C-alpha cells in the first residue's frame, strides 16, 4: 500500500520555531518528526511514500532524498498553499490509478508505539476504509468523532460545543479508498465535507489507538512530543567515543551519542538525549526529559530540565533553562534564567499571532527562535516567545511585550 504524508504545513502557531523549518522537521531526540513517521511506516511494511511538501520543502528533500537510507521509495508532490489540507491531499491524486486504497498520514503527529500497525491490521481484517482514533491529550482542543456499536464512525464534528465533548478524536492516520480523491474534488477540497460524504456512501471504521499521541499545534506541544519520545528510551546507550571526566553522575536511561564530552562534576538524569559532539560543562545538571541537539554546548553550572535544545546552541554558564525550546544556533550568555512558573501559580499565557493564549500549563518557560543572541544576566518571563535572530541586550527582564 502506498502512503501519502502531509508534510507541507508551516505551522504559524509554532513561530518562531517554524519560521526556519517545516513543522514536520522539528527535531526531537536527534531526529525530525517526519523521520519517526517514516521509520514507523517502514516497520509496518509500507515502503512507498509520497510526501506532500511546501514550506521549507528543500530542507525535507535534502534530508530524506529518495529514501534509500531508510529502505523507502520516496517521491514528492507540491501543494497549493492556498488550498489547505484538502488541496494538499489532492496534490498527490495523480500518483494513483483507479481502485484500491492508500494510507493518509498527517505529518505533525508524534506517537509512542507504532500507530500504523493496528491501523493496517484493522484494514486487512475489514477490507474497508479505516480512521485511527485516540483519546485526546487535552479536552476541548480537537474535533470529536461518534461511533456506533460496531465501531463504525457515524459523525465527525470539527468544533464541538464544550458541553458535548466526546471521548475520541481523529489521530491523523487513515486508510482511504482511491475514490476519496474524487469525493474531495466534488466538495471543493473541503476535508470535513469529504469525510461526511465518505461516511454516507462508503462507511468509515475506527481503529482505536490507546498509547500516547499528540499533534503539534502550539509551541508547548513540542515539549509534550519530546516527553512521548523519551518515554521510549528504556535503557542507557552511550557511544564508545564519548568522553567523561571524573565524578560524572549518570542516572539512566540516557542516550549519549558519538563525540560527546562531559566534564567533571556534571550530572545527567534520564530519560535524556545528548546529541553528537555536544559538550556538557563542569557541574552542569541535565535533568529529566531534556534533549540536547548535536554540537550544543552547555556551560559550567548550567541547569536544564524538560527542554529541547536544538543543534549548535550555546547555553552560557550558570544559566537555568526549564520547560523551554531553544532554537538552532542560539547563543545564550551567562546567568540567563527562563522563569517557568507564575508567581501566583496561575497557568501560563503566551502570545500566538498577536493573541493571548492560555497554555493551561502551570510550568512553561521560553521559546527562542533560531540564531537569537541573549545577553548576560537576563530574566525571561514564563511563556515568552523570542523571534529568530533577535538580539537581546544584557541585564534585561523579558516578556512577550518586548517583541
Q: For every one of its 403 residues, what pLDDT tens digit does the chain have, with 9 covering 90 and above? A: 999 999 988 888 999 999 999 999 999 999 999 999 999 999 999 999 999 999 999 999 999 999 999 999 999 999 877 678 999 999 999 999 888 999 999 999 999 999 999 999 999 999 999 999 998 886 656 677 888 888 899 888 766 555 555 678 899 999 999 999 999 999 999 998 999 999 998 899 999 999 999 999 999 999 999 999 999 999 999 999 999 999 999 998 999 999 999 999 999 999 999 999 999 999 999 999 999 999 999 999 999 999 999 999 999 999 999 999 999 999 999 999 999 999 999 999 999 999 999 999 999 999 999 999 999 999 999 999 999 999 999 987 767 766 6
Q: What angle do CA 194, 199, 201 make, to 5 degrees?
A: 90
Between helix 57-64 and helix 33-43 the angle, nearest 10°, is 40
Cell of 44: 509496518
- List the CATH code of the domain at 2-219: 3.90.550.10
For 124, 201, 370, 387, the CA distances from 177, given in Å and listed in that order, are 13, 12, 41, 43
- The pLDDT value recorded for residue 382 is 96
DSSP letter (8 states) at residue 211: S
CA distances from 352 to 82, 273, 303, 342 (A): 21, 29, 27, 19
Tell me if 168 sits within 8 A of 147, measured CB to CB: yes
Residues 202, 177 contacting (CB under 8 angstroms): yes
- CA distances (Å), origin 111, targets 289, 291, 363: 16, 17, 23
Model confidence, pTM: 0.94
For the chain, give every domain's residue range. Answer: 2-219, 237-402
> What pLDDT is attached to residue 107?
95
> Looking up cell 523579558, which residue turns up?
398
| CA distance linking residue 215 with residue 213, whole number of Å | 7
Q: Decide if 326 contacts 332 (C-beta within 8 A).
A: yes
DSSP string, 339-401: --S-TT-PPPEEEETTEEEE---S----EE-TT-EE-TT-EE-TT-EE-TT-EE-SS-EE-GG
Task: Tell me how far the alpha carbon of residue 151 is from its chain's centroid.
Answer: 29
Which has the closest alpha carbon to 157: 193, 130, 184, 122?
Answer: 193
- CATH code, residues 237-402: 2.160.10.10
Q: 322 vs 179, 381, 383, CA distance in Å? A: 48, 11, 11
Amino acid at each position: 500500500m502506498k502512503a501519502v504524508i502531509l508534510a507541507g504545513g508551516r505551522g504559524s502557531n509554532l513561530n518562531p520555531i517554524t519560521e526556519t523549518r517545516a513543522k514536520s522537521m522539528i527535531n526531537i531526540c536527534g531526529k525530525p518528526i517526519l523521520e519517526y513517521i517514516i521509520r514507523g511506516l517502514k516497520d509496518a511494511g509500507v515502503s512507498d511514500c509520497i510526501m506532500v511538501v511546501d514550506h521549507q520543502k528543500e530542507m525535507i528533500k535534502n534530508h530524506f532524498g529518495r529514501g534509500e537510507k531508510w529502505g523507502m521509495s520516496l517521491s514528492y508532490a507540491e501543494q497549493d498553499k492556498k488550498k489547505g489540507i484538502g488541496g494538499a491531499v489532492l496534490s498527490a491524486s495523480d500518483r494513483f490509478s483507479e481502485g484500491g486504497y492508500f494510507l493518509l498520514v498527517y505529518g505533525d503527529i508524534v506517537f509512542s508505539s507504532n500507530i500504523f500497525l493496528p491501523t493496517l491490521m484493522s484494514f486487512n481484517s475489514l477490507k474497508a476504509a479505516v480512521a485511527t482514533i485516540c483519546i485526546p491529550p487535552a479536552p476541548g482542543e480537537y474535533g470529536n468523532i461518534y461511533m456506533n456499536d460496531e465501531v463504525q464512525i457515524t459523525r465527525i464534528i470539527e468544533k464541538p460545543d464544550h458541553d458535548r465533548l466526546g471521548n475520541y478524536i481523529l489521530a491523523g492516520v487513515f486508510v482511504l479508498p482511491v475514490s476519496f480523491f474524487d469525493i474531495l474534488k466534488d466538495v471543493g477540497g473541503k476535508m470535513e465535507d469529504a469525510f461526511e460524504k465518505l461516511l454516507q456512501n462508503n462507511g468509515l471504521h475506527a481503529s482505536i489507538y490507546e498509547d500516547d499521541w499528540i499533534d503539534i499545534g502550539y509551541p508547548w506541544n513540542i515539549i509534550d512530543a519530546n516527553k512521548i519520545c523519551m518515554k521510549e528510551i528504556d535503557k542507557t546507550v552511550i557511544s564508545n567515543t564519548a568522553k567523561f571526566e571524573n565524578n560524572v553522575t549518570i542516572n539512566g536511561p540516557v542516550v549519549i551519542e558519538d563525540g560527546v564530552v562531559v566534564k567533571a562534576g556534571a550530572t545527567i538524569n534520564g530519560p535524556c538525549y545528548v546529541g553528537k559532539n555536544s559538550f556538557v560543562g563542569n557541574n552542569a545538571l541535565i535533568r529529566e526529559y531534556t534533549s540536547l541537539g548535536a554540537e550544543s554546548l552547555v556551560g559550567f553550572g548550567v541547569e536544564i530540565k524538560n527542554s529541547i535544545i536544538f543543534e549548535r546552541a550555546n547555553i552560557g554558564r550558570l544559566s537555568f533553562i526549564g520547560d523551554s525550546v531553544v532554537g538552532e544556533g542560539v547563543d545564550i550568555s551567562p546567568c540567563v534564567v527562563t522563569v517557568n512558573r507564575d508567581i501566583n501559580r496561575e497557568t501560563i499565557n503566551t502570545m500566538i499571532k498577536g493573541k493571548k493564549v492560555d497554555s493551561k500549563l502551570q510550568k512553561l518557560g521560553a521559546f527562542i527562535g533560531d540564531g537569537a543572541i541573549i545577553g548576560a544576566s537576563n530574566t525571561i518571563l514564563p511563556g515568552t516567545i523570542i523571534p529568530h535572530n533577535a538580539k537581546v541586550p544584557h541585564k534585561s527582564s523579558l516578556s512577550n511585550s518586548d517583541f
